[in-house]
A and B are shown apart, each in its own frame.
Chain A
């Protein structure tokens, strides 16, 4: 019974997506164009340059294209379904999350899981097409593939908690539009979506190593392209796992504090 209700909650946003063909077409076209543009850009930049920052042309292209695909993992539109935390805070309907037999934190986690799985299907499809077309290089070995997948899982887990903390901000500030934009910016910049972190100055790379963002994408992608050798991967995986634990405890604490702030019908 619990599994059935979990399944029903998890599929809400993907179902909404499947019922909006223009949006699905948009995702496909956007991914295609973005991949072509990003691959063209990095090929163009490398046309007069050899290896730079420890990355060769194929490594840089693979990194950049995989970053585009990975950034689509959490791209679903909850706003259209009026089920974002900010909307519930705005309309006062957040209280219903606390009146259901399903705890709000579990509801949120299940919705996120459904989105993640759906987004992963898109990313995987895109990856296979890119691999077949020779746009990205395959991983160096089976061991690299395994470590990459584990690192990707941990990275998405970290990202989930970052997004959750951003949503929880609404319980205190009522609005989180700007916080979300700042988080998106920080995530894109410090995880390597804009450009691989290896291209940045040393001080920037050192600074980002103290933040959770690089654990979301830069670590798995660097393992994939071989910029982080397998011998160094254990330490990076431990850092990712550490962030998962820290952020899990932090967001758990915030859920508890948030529950104290929810007021129904004026108190």
Chain B
């Protein structure tokens, strides 16, 4: 309870701190929205020029970026500061966090308020409403529950990937470079059916770098394409659970990495 109260108070302070630079605050909200719009633009252009992408119709394809973007917006809002751990390591801030009576991970998450998440979530929610209204599926309670689970699972999976990179940054600060790439990959290749790609490349994005579990596989299950993904149906359907397990695993990795963190002073 005490931890929750502290978290709430720090978050309020961080929000007020963001308001100190008004132009930057507004630009931050805008950038969240604009970044998400870029995903929509990319998907829309592809859909307009290449109809019937991978055997999916456009309303089904839209469900993929909508799920991914909503998951991403929640990730940015709740866990996104893990993104900047590399910089905090370079600036020696992790060493300061280690001296304080609060878990390092929580301090990282409370380091600033993610204003851009406001724009992210607004656009993502808009796209999700648009995707659901165009969808011809029967949105039963079960389907809606699965969609909610998929969004949460996608958020946790994205958090797991960035947490794993943060662990690498504790050992090699330059590994921070990879997080920008990962974000780019998620934005570009996480927003349409991966079955348009060659099987080997699709396999890479499923098993090596599990982007497919963020939105593609849950959307495939929801739209009835679950048997055409090249992945066992039970695994595709378990995508939300994969997110939960991946995040738990990444947090264990974080704990282990932090125990072995030496910092610049040895």
Secondary structure at the B interface, as helix, strand, loop or mixed, is helix
Residue positions of B touching A, CB distance < 8 A = 21, 23-24, 27-28, 30-31, 34-35, 38, 41-42, 45-46, 48-50, 52-54, 87, 90, 116, 172-175, 177-178, 181, 185, 188-189, 196-198, 201, 205
Which A1-60 residues sit within 8 Å CB-CB of chain B? 20, 22-23, 26-27, 30, 34, 36-37, 40-41, 43-49, 52-53
Pair A48/B175 contact, Cβ less than 8 Å = no
Q: Write the nearest CB–CB distance from A30 to chain B, whole angstroms.
A: 5
Chain A residues within 8 Å of B53, by CB: 45
Interface check A98, CB cutoff 8 A: no
Residue in A52, A77, A79, A177 whose CB lies within 8 Å of B49: A52
Residue in B28, B41, B90, B181 whose CB lies within 8 Å of A178: B28
Pair A80/B174 contact, Cβ less than 8 Å = yes
Q: Which of A179-187, A210-218, A255-263 contacts B (4 or more CB under 8 A)?
A: A179-187
Q: Write the nearest CB–CB distance from B143 to chain A, whole angstroms.
A: 29
A22-B172, A185-B34 known; A194 and B42 CB under 8 Å?
yes
Residue in B38, B46, B188 whose CB lies within 8 Å of A45: B46
A182-B31, A195-B46 known; A41 and B189 CB under 8 Å?
yes
Interface check A227, CB cutoff 8 A: no
How far is A47 from B53 in the complex, measured between Cα atoms in Å?
10
Residue in B23, B35, B54 whose CB lies within 8 Å of A185: B35
Chain B residues within 8 Å of A40, by CB: 197-198, 201
Residue positions of A touching B, CB distance < 8 A = 20, 22-23, 26-27, 30, 34, 36-37, 40-41, 43-49, 52-53, 77, 79-80, 173-175, 177-179, 181-182, 185, 188-189, 194-195, 199-201
5 pairs of residues in contact across A and B, judged by CB atoms under 8 Å: A26-B181, A178-B30, A181-B31, A182-B27, A194-B188
How far is A164 from B252 in the complex, measured between Cα atoms in Å?
42
How far is A248 from B41 in the complex, measured between Cα atoms in Å?
31
B52 closest partner in A (C-beta):
A48
Pair A185/B181 contact, Cβ less than 8 Å = no
How far is A106 from B197 in the complex, measured between Cα atoms in Å?
46
Q: Write the nearest CB–CB distance from A49 to chain B, whole angstroms.
A: 6
Closest A-B pairs by Cβ, 4 of them: A178-B27, A44-B196, A23-B174, A22-B174
Pair A175/B24 contact, Cβ less than 8 Å = yes
Chain B residues within 8 Å of A199, by CB: 45-46, 48-49
Residue in A27, A47, A178 whose CB lies within 8 Å of B24: A178
How far is A187 from B245 in the complex, measured between Cα atoms in Å?
37
Chain B residues within 8 Å of A201, by CB: 48
Chain A residues within 8 Å of B41, by CB: 189, 194
Q: Write the nearest CB–CB distance from A265 to chain B, whole angstroms.
A: 22
Q: Write the nearest CB–CB distance from B181 to chain A, whole angstroms.
A: 5
Pair A37/B177 contact, Cβ less than 8 Å = no
Q: Write the nearest CB–CB distance from A199 to chain B, whole angstroms.
A: 5
A41 closest partner in B (C-beta):
B197
How far is A45 from B178 in the complex, measured between Cα atoms in Å?
27
Chain B residues within 8 Å of A195, by CB: 42, 45-46
How far is A40 from B189 in the complex, measured between Cα atoms in Å?
11
Residue in A26, A46, A178, A182 whose CB lies within 8 Å of B177: A26
Pair B198/A44 contact, Cβ less than 8 Å = yes
A80 closest partner in B (C-beta):
B90
Q: Write the nearest CB–CB distance from B64 to chain A, whole angstroms.
A: 14
